[in-house]
Amino acid sequence: MQVWKDYQEQHKDRFLNELLDLLRIPSISAKAEHKDDMLHCAEEVKARLLEAGADLVTIYPTDGHPIVYGEKIVDPTKPTVLVYGHYDVQPADPLELWNSGPFDPVIVDGKIFARGSCDDKGQFYMHVKALETFTKTNTLQTNIKFIIEGEEEIGSPNLATFVTNNKALLKADVILISDTSMLSMENPSIDIGVRGLSYIEVEVTGANRDLHSGVYGGAVANPLTILSKMIASCHDENNHITIPGFYDDVVEATPEEREKMAQAPFDEAEYKEDLGIKEVWGEQGFTTNERTGTRPTIEVNGMWGGYTGEGAKTVLPSKAFAKISARLVPNQSSAVITKKLLDYFTSIAPKGVTVKAAEHHGGEPYMTPIDSVAYKAASKAVLATFGKEPIPVRGGGSIPICALFEKELGLKIVFLGFGLDSDNLHSPNEKYNVFNFYKGIETIPYFHQYFAEMNA
């Protein structure tokens, strides 16, 4: 619609500056020291929703960080779209690898560099600006509700209670989420699946104190060696996971689905060059896209123990630690896999050490049906603004609350993401292309328009 385009063109600089302001708030949910930043960020989100034309915005406190709820109801008989996003971000460590401050956004070569630029401030904010576009041009044909939470990066521990207690408030026809990627701007795609997550932390203790590696070395179990052996034992020589029962509930992709995935544009040479690697790596018998999209995986996210400073120290450490997570596919259960991981790490340790294993947050895998009205509206919206029908693909990341939404609200989810895999999510120098930000703001109104028309 020309009226949208005109309005957005006129206000594009302000849209971008508002996002940069939001990115300056270090809303790291995982770190207790950022509690005040989280509150500040929630207040900002509320103010922006009101400015954009929402007629009711409330900050709901939780046992953790608050949830911002907002709505614009134009007509109760029209379809309602519930937009979900999150204002919290990942920690910025390791800080020394950033080329500019993670919370001092800079635009270089058309890319916004900042923690949260893509995940998810830059993406949920497109929906706020889409709302503004509608309200300022008087063209809104759907009701829009927003849940912007502050705990996505730590597993949404308080969202379930909020959703369960507010089913009437959250009543809608579909959930719309922009927290995923496209293959590229030339090959637009829509994620139809996200993987689930299990995440554990393992602590291995040998002796009750750090020891001299000469005096005791060879006679007392070294927790780093033991933990290395435990981690090494999780995969066999084909990089197949060996934890008993790990694959039990996996629904394998069908030959048809695998064939369709193989047709999606993917340039392995470019992929390797971008990552600076000589070879890809993974479970034998599967392509790179299958490995990240359709197969469950186990990764070590962090590991530490002993002397890690300058020079050499001949210590036999008392403790070793690892953070280990699994990505899950339909129809694996996060609780079941978490238990298998915990059992595995606590059961295989030799008697010379003691092992404590505890769980962090998890989440269920989720798949979107591509024959739904909502998916079709999304596909048509992308076609309208990209001039190309989007490819349905399975994404590797996790959005733990999808299964919850489906269960509690009985709603399907559409992922309308505008990021790129190369946006350095969760990494130093996270970025989001200015082009993608504007393209999202341009595309989202079409989704609402088509969704309203298809439901009419």
107 makes contact with a copy of itself (CB under 8 A): no
**Bridge-based pairing state of the strands 111-113 and 431-433:** antiparallel
How many angstroms separate the CA atoms of 179 and 192, rounded?
12
Asked whether the beta carbons of 252 and 207 are under 8 A apart, the reply is no
269 makes contact with a copy of itself (CB under 8 A): no
Number of residues forming the site for a copy of itself (CB under 8 A): 101
| Residue 173-192 contact track with a copy of itself, rule CB under 8 A, x = bound | --------x-----------
Q: Which is nearer to a copy of itself, 60 or 321 (CB)?
A: 321
Contact with a copy of itself (CB under 8 A) among 110, 265, 302, 369: 302
Shortest reach from residue 274's CB to a copy of itself, in Å: 8
Contact set for a copy of itself, span 71-90 (CB under 8 A) = 90
Contact set for a copy of itself, span 211-240 (CB under 8 A) = 211-222, 224-225, 227-229, 231-235
How many angstroms separate the CA atoms of 293 and 319, rounded?
35
292 makes contact with a copy of itself (CB under 8 A): yes
Asked whether the beta carbons of 319 and 305 are under 8 A apart, the reply is yes
210 makes contact with a copy of itself (CB under 8 A): yes
365 makes contact with a copy of itself (CB under 8 A): no
Q: Which tokens in the block code for residue 114?
A: 């900042």
Nearest CA-CA partner of 262 in 285, 284, 281, 289: 289
Contact set for a copy of itself, span 325-364 (CB under 8 A) = 325, 327, 350-354, 360-361
Could you tell me how far CA 292 lies from the centroid of its own chain?
14
Asked whether the beta carbons of 175 and 97 are under 8 A apart, the reply is no
Contact set for a copy of itself, span 244-263 (CB under 8 A) = none
Shortest reach from residue 285's CB to a copy of itself, in Å: 13
Stretch that binds a copy of itself, among 129-137, 171-179, 273-281, 367-375 (CB under 8 A): 273-281
Ranges of beta strands (E only) in 61-155 are 67-72, 80-86, 106-108, 111-113, 143-149
Sign of CA dihedral 342, 197, 175, 8: positive
Shortest reach from residue 66's CB to a copy of itself, in Å: 18
Shortest reach from residue 419's CB to a copy of itself, in Å: 9
Q: Which is nearer to a copy of itself, 24 or 272 (CB)?
A: 272
35 makes contact with a copy of itself (CB under 8 A): no
Helix, strand or coil, per DSSP, at residue 420: strand
Nearest CA-CA partner of 86 in 39, 59, 127, 120: 120
26 makes contact with a copy of itself (CB under 8 A): no
Shortest reach from residue 316's CB to a copy of itself, in Å: 5
208 makes contact with a copy of itself (CB under 8 A): yes
280 makes contact with a copy of itself (CB under 8 A): yes
Which residue shows structure tokens 């029209």?
Answer: 78
Omega prior to 120 cis, within 30 of 0: yes
Stretch that binds a copy of itself, among 78-86, 134-142, 291-299, 336-344 (CB under 8 A): 291-299
Nearest CA-CA partner of 181 in 168, 165, 192, 173: 192
**Through-space distance between the first and last CA atoms of the chain, rounded to whole angstroms:** 19
Helix, strand or coil, per DSSP, at residue 10: helix
Contact set for a copy of itself, span 384-443 (CB under 8 A) = 395-398, 421, 424-429
Q: Which tokens in the block code for residue 85?
A: 């996003």
Q: Which is nearer to a copy of itself, 5 or 313 (CB)?
A: 313
Q: Which is nearer to a copy of itself, 79 or 400 (CB)?
A: 400
